[in-house]
Chains A and B, each alone.
Chain A
Amino acid sequence: MPGRQSRRSVLAALAALSLSGVSACTGSGGSQPRTTGKRSKKTTRITFWSALRGSQEVVDEFNRTHDHIQVDFQQVPSGALGGYAKLSNAARAGNAPDVATIEYPQVPGFAIDGVARDITDLVDDGLRDKLLPQALELTTFDRRVFSVPLDIEPMVLHYRKDLFRKYGIDVPTTWDEFEEAALLARKRAPDRHLSLFPTDGMTQFAAFSWQAGARWFDTSQGAWNVSMADAPTRRVARYWQRLADQDLVARFNTDGNRFPAAIGQGRILSRLHGAWDAGAQMNAHPGQAGKWAVAPLPQWDTRRPVSATHGGSTFAVTKDCRNPEAAMEFISWQVTHPDALRARLSSGTSSQFPAAPGLIEVGRKAFDRRYYSGQDIYALFREQAELIDDRWTWGPRMTATQKVMQDGFARAAGGQGTIIDAVREAQRGTLPDLKALGLSTTERSS
Chain B
Amino acid sequence: MTTTTTGTDTVALPRRTAPLSSADQRRGARRRRLGACGVLMTPFFVLLVTVFLIPVGTAVWLSFFGADQPGLGFGPERTVFVGLRSYAAVLTDPTFLGGLGTVAAYCLFYIPLMVVCALALALLLDSGVVRLRAWAQLALFLPHAVPGIIAAIIWLYLYTPGISPVIELLARGDITVDFLGVHTVLPSIVNIAVWSNLGYNTIIFYAALQAVPREVIEASVVDGAGPVRTALQVKTPLVRSSIVMVAMFTLIWGLQLFTEPMLLGQQTPMINSRFTPSMYIYDAAFNRNNYSLAAAASVILLLFTIALSYGVTRWTNRSAEKQEAAR
Within residues 237 to 266 of chain B, which ones have a CB less than 8 A from any CB in chain A? Answer: 263, 266
A85 — nearest CB in chain B belongs to which residue? B286
A409: chain B residues at CB < 8 Å are: 269
The complex places the Cα of A88 from the Cα of B162 at a distance, in Å, of 37
* Residue A193 at the chain B interface, CB threshold 8 Å: no
* Residue A262 at the chain B interface, CB threshold 8 Å: no
* Residue B94 at the chain A interface, CB threshold 8 Å: yes
Within residues 267 to 296 of chain B, which ones have a CB less than 8 A from any CB in chain A? Answer: 267, 269-270, 272-274, 283-284, 286-290, 292-293, 296
Docked-complex contact A112 and B269, CB < 8 angstroms: no
Point out the residue from B76, B156, B287 that lies within 8 Å of A400, measured CB to CB: B287
Docked-complex contact B182 and A396, CB < 8 angstroms: no
The complex places the Cα of A66 from the Cα of B222 at a distance, in Å, of 98
Given A3-B160, A400-B287, the answer on whether A438 and B273 have CB atoms closer than 8 Å is no
Docked-complex contact B270 and A414, CB < 8 angstroms: yes
Given A3-B163, A113-B289, A199-B269, the answer on whether A224 and B72 have CB atoms closer than 8 Å is yes
Given A400-B287, A429-B95, A435-B89, the answer on whether A414 and B269 have CB atoms closer than 8 Å is yes
Docked-complex contact A112 and B74, CB < 8 angstroms: yes
* Residue B66 at the chain A interface, CB threshold 8 Å: yes
Given A2-B163, A414-B182, A436-B86, the answer on whether A429 and B153 have CB atoms closer than 8 Å is no
Within residues 1 to 16 of chain A, which ones have a CB less than 8 A from any CB in chain B? Answer: 1-3, 6-7, 9-10, 13-14
Given A10-B156, A411-B269, A429-B95, the answer on whether A85 and B287 have CB atoms closer than 8 Å is yes
Docked-complex contact A410 and B72, CB < 8 angstroms: no
Docked-complex contact A435 and B85, CB < 8 angstroms: yes
* Residue A37 at the chain B interface, CB threshold 8 Å: no
B90: chain A residues at CB < 8 Å are: 432, 436
A224: chain B residues at CB < 8 Å are: 72-73
Given A3-B162, A407-B272, A438-B66, the answer on whether A222 and B71 have CB atoms closer than 8 Å is yes
Point out the residue from B77, B266, B287 that lies within 8 Å of A6, measured CB to CB: B266
Docked-complex contact A437 and B272, CB < 8 angstroms: no
A9 — nearest CB in chain B belongs to which residue? B266
B289: chain A residues at CB < 8 Å are: 88, 109, 113
Given A404-B272, A436-B85, A438-B82, the answer on whether A13 and B266 have CB atoms closer than 8 Å is yes
* Residue A73 at the chain B interface, CB threshold 8 Å: no
| Binary per-residue interface labels of chain B (173-184) against chain A in the complex, 1 for a CB within 8 Å, 0 otherwise | 000000001100
Count, chain A residues at interface, CB 8 A = 52
Scoring B93, B181, B267 by chain A CB atoms within 10 A of each residue's CB, the highest score goes to B93
The complex places the Cα of A425 from the Cα of B69 at a distance, in Å, of 25
B272: chain A residues at CB < 8 Å are: 403-404, 407
* Residue B70 at the chain A interface, CB threshold 8 Å: yes
Docked-complex contact A433 and B182, CB < 8 angstroms: no
A11 — nearest CB in chain B belongs to which residue? B153
Point out the residue from A112, A113, A433 that lies within 8 Å of B293, measured CB to CB: A433
The complex places the Cα of A118 from the Cα of B77 at a distance, in Å, of 12
The complex places the Cα of A429 from the Cα of B88 at a distance, in Å, of 14
Scoring A109, A141, A199, A439 by chain B CB atoms within 10 A of each residue's CB, the highest score goes to A439
The complex places the Cα of A141 from the Cα of B93 at a distance, in Å, of 27
Docked-complex contact B287 and A399, CB < 8 angstroms: yes
Docked-complex contact A436 and B287, CB < 8 angstroms: no
Docked-complex contact B74 and A429, CB < 8 angstroms: no
| Binary per-residue interface labels of chain A (81-101) against chain B in the complex, 1 for a CB within 8 Å, 0 otherwise | 000010010000000000000
The complex places the Cα of A199 from the Cα of B272 at a distance, in Å, of 13
The complex places the Cα of A415 from the Cα of B149 at a distance, in Å, of 30
| Binary per-residue interface labels of chain B (156-168) against chain A in the complex, 1 for a CB within 8 Å, 0 otherwise | 1100101100000
* Residue A397 at the chain B interface, CB threshold 8 Å: yes
Scoring B70, B162, B182, B272 by chain A CB atoms within 10 A of each residue's CB, the highest score goes to B272
Docked-complex contact B156 and A6, CB < 8 angstroms: yes
* Residue A440 at the chain B interface, CB threshold 8 Å: yes
Docked-complex contact B182 and A415, CB < 8 angstroms: yes
A6: chain B residues at CB < 8 Å are: 156, 160, 163, 266-267
Point out the residue from B73, B92, B157 that lies within 8 Å of A438, measured CB to CB: B73
Docked-complex contact B74 and A411, CB < 8 angstroms: no
| Binary per-residue interface labels of chain A (219-234) against chain B in the complex, 1 for a CB within 8 Å, 0 otherwise | 1001110000000000
Within residues 360 to 403 of chain A, which ones have a CB less than 8 A from any CB in chain B? Answer: 396-397, 399-400, 403
The complex places the Cα of A146 from the Cα of B72 at a distance, in Å, of 14
B162 — nearest CB in chain A belongs to which residue? A2
The complex places the Cα of A407 from the Cα of B273 at a distance, in Å, of 8
B163 — nearest CB in chain A belongs to which residue? A3
* Residue A416 at the chain B interface, CB threshold 8 Å: yes
Instruction: Tell me the smallest distance from the CB of A308 to a CB of chain B, in Å.
Output: 23
The complex places the Cα of A26 from the Cα of B95 at a distance, in Å, of 35
* Residue A428 at the chain B interface, CB threshold 8 Å: yes
B73: chain A residues at CB < 8 Å are: 112, 224, 396, 437-439
A435: chain B residues at CB < 8 Å are: 85, 88-89, 92
Docked-complex contact B71 and A433, CB < 8 angstroms: no
Instruction: Tell me the smallest distance from the CB of A115 to a CB of chain B, in Å.
Output: 9
Point out the residue from A3, A7, A438 that lies within 8 Å of B68, measured CB to CB: A438
B293: chain A residues at CB < 8 Å are: 432-433, 436
Docked-complex contact A433 and B68, CB < 8 angstroms: no
* Residue A144 at the chain B interface, CB threshold 8 Å: yes
* Residue A142 at the chain B interface, CB threshold 8 Å: yes
A89 — nearest CB in chain B belongs to which residue? B286
Point out the residue from A7, A403, A411 that lies within 8 Å of B157, measured CB to CB: A7
* Residue A111 at the chain B interface, CB threshold 8 Å: yes
B180 — nearest CB in chain A belongs to which residue? A414
Given A400-B287, A410-B269, A435-B85, the answer on whether A440 and B92 have CB atoms closer than 8 Å is no
Docked-complex contact B93 and A118, CB < 8 angstroms: no
* Residue A213 at the chain B interface, CB threshold 8 Å: no
Docked-complex contact B266 and A439, CB < 8 angstroms: no
A-B contact list, 15 entries, CB within 8 Å: A2-B162, A3-B163, A6-B163, A7-B153, A85-B286, A113-B77, A403-B273, A411-B182, A429-B95, A433-B288, A436-B85, A436-B292, A437-B290, A438-B68, A438-B69
Besides the known contacts A3-B163, A435-B85, A438-B69, 7 further A-B residue pairs in the complex with CB atoms under 8 A apart: A10-B153, A224-B72, A432-B95, A438-B67, A438-B73, A439-B71, A439-B72
Please give the residue numbers on chain A whose beta carbons come within 8 Å of chain B beta carbons, in ascending order.
1-3, 6-7, 9-10, 13-14, 85, 88, 109, 111-114, 118, 141-142, 144, 146, 199, 219, 222-224, 396-397, 399-400, 403-404, 406-407, 409-411, 413-416, 425, 428-429, 432-433, 435-440
Please give the residue numbers on chain B whose beta carbons come within 8 Å of chain A beta carbons, in ascending order.
66-74, 76-77, 82, 85-86, 88-90, 92-96, 149, 153, 156-157, 160, 162-163, 181-182, 263, 266-267, 269-270, 272-274, 283-284, 286-290, 292-293, 296
